[in-house]
Structure 1
Amino acid sequence: MGASVNRWIKLIAGTFMLLFLGLLYAWSIFNAPFKSVYESWTVSQLSMTFTISMIFFCLSAFVAGNLAKKISTQNILRIAAVMLFVGFFGVSMLNPEDSATSLILLYILYGFLCGSGVGMGYNAIISTVNKSFADRAGLASGVMLLGFGLGGIVLGGTVGSVIEKIGLFPTFRILGILIAVVLFVGSIFITPPPVEPGKTVEQKKPDDFGYTASEMIREKSFWIFVVWTILLNSASLLVINSAATIAVSFGIPAVLGLIVSLFNGIGRVIHGAFFDRFKEKKSTLLNTSFVLCAGILLTLGAFFNAAPFILLGLIFSGLGYGGTPTLASTVILDRFGPKNYAVNFSIANFSLAPAAIIGPMISSVLIEKSGGAYNSTFWMIIILAAVAMVLRLFLKEQHAHK
């Protein structure tokens, strides 16, 4: 009973920590305050900060996966805490009078250090806690990713209010201290699963099977799955980044555009629980269907200029987008085993990078060529989802018990 309770404490602690790590996605909240301090900075220069942070998020997750073979999860989380403290606290020390140097330092402090700290923490928490939920890895992943996804929403609004009251730089100072404390304290609870008494030495090893990274990347199924995730993430990002604007275009209050973020979080738990019961084949079908339905509903909404269809389309976009990272964490564990999961999961996460480039790029081109209309964008969602639907047919059932 103790072990069972213990793993739920790990899950709660991991989710709480990921809530704070998810603040990395709240960069849009910092955009305007930075622009007011550094008026010479362009929109592209500011957005580059987030791009750099995402690149190092992926790279550092891979580094953390390899470090997990040599040092404990607690130490990885402590390293992440130090990086985030230095990153956030360092930003609070920027000189408002020196815009050129401050921009470079922002790229280093927020882009490199904060992005890397979040990536290391993200990988260490999910890969470790999931090992304690071999029977319910989908639910565990979904709950943790719900926390990570809601970080920018739940805490972002609070951070925005704090900036208005005390200013940008003091807020960064507080965040640096707060996040470091949360990670240091939370690291105490993020431990590998306990060994059950009465088992042989071989049976006591929870990580005694699985593919190495080199074995995994030689598997055709791995690349099919990666392309599948890129297609669905790209399709969803055609809408996610412009949800509020799309809502306003069809007479829906901008605030309702945020419904995508809400259902993005809900989708993570739904897909995780669904995976535990029905496994990969039906889970990937459900996720692809959500994105396809989103495209169809949005297209109908644009054709008939019907706000209800648009609203439903935004809801399904959120559900579809939320499912992909959850399935990435569970499918990699199920297909390729727990032995090298930390590294293998981090490699799968690299699929976020091309999707983050492809989705917004296609969206901007299509909107520009259509004179600001979204019809072609919605059609592209259907096309990408349809290709993903066909691609998933080539994913045969595979489990890592080698």
Structure 2
Amino acid sequence: MFEKMFLHQGKLSRMVGEKKIETYRTIYQHLKTAIENQELPLHPDYLCGNDLANNIYKKKYYLKDINGKVIEKRPEDVFCRIASFVASQETTKIKQKKWAEAFYKDLYEGYWMPGGRVLAGAGDLYRLKTLANCFVTRIEDDDIESIYKAAAECARTYSYGGGIGVDITPLRPRGSVVHNAADTSTGAVSFMELYSMTTGLIGQSGRRGALMLTIDIKHPDIFHFLSVKKSPNWVSQQIVEQCRWSGKFDEYQLDLIKKQVVENTQIRFANISVKVTDEFMKAVKEEKLYGRDRIIIYRKKNKQRLMRAYQKDGYFYSLGIPNKDIRDYEELKVFDSYALFSQWMEDQFGKTVSQVDLKDAMKRDVYGDYLVDTEDENEELAIHFTGDFLLYFGSDETNEVRELVKARDVWDTFIESNYRTAEPG
């Protein structure tokens, strides 16, 4: 049955070429002969009767012919296929046989084990499969075309057996300006369902595609992202309302229905994670140490200011919304009141900072600090309320979206979501 594979004229065979396939076939036959002659090891029951292991190999890793019939019967068949396929890349026949035997022995002894996609795909001439488990695609721009292009790349990756990560940070936040039939944007988080559904639709023979969705901690949709798997969306709410209108369920039963619908439908086919920064964790720790809304001053060890960071100005948000290097900030003093702070600023630097300006998010830099110049040419003052964290998004289409929040509120929402749903990471 396995010999027929080498004669199969499929997409992969056309890409690889007859010469490479013949080399692979020769090495494979060499290993099979060596096994039959007891020159290479073969176990009478390699998996020791373990039903779970047998099922996993059968469903995920044993090769199937073009009709879906399993043509490998034991792990040693998989090892033989992988070893001969990988060794076929060597440049001489001596090296090919040498390394094929070495690879087979190592796999048999369990010295190392390839990733799942290599186990399933290496040497399979019936189907075009990826030999890498994980990929990342990016949403190139904040527009519909880029959103759906990324979804298409997800679908193609799944069709070859791979998993993929998509970062939604480049997409504008909910409620921001759009220039189409809608009044405002539904936000970055709303498109998570598109990628999740794409993942669920593409089968992978015994497994589903793996999807990781991420967002930067500074994105204004962060609270929405953190609660996306525990707060009912409009579809879940509609299902619950239909059940309520039927009159067949009491409130306790409706709560159970809502819980089941949310858990089994919302972003069902994706894991989610937050990209956290030192800037954020510093703000969380700051509030723990000093409480909320005291005024804290840092000595900033440079005078480079970032007051705006639009995506098209060279800040591609999938690489991270700009965040401060906390090593450049040295804590100077903490004040319990604006009056004490104001007096100290006047005494030490002859400077006045209005309370209104200090609370204005638009007067902060991108890192969330109100900056005050000093006579020292190498430093300035960075001032904010303890625990402050600035959510930020900027583009020509949306202008700047700024929101001052408390890092601890974001952290607490993150912890609560993890407790309820084990996500995000």
When Rg is computed on C-alpha atoms for both structures, the one with the higher figure is 2
**TM-score (norm. length: structure 1):** 0.24
More strand by share: 2
**TM-score (norm. length: structure 2):** 0.23
More helix by share: 1
Higher relative contact order (CA 8 A, sep 6+): 1
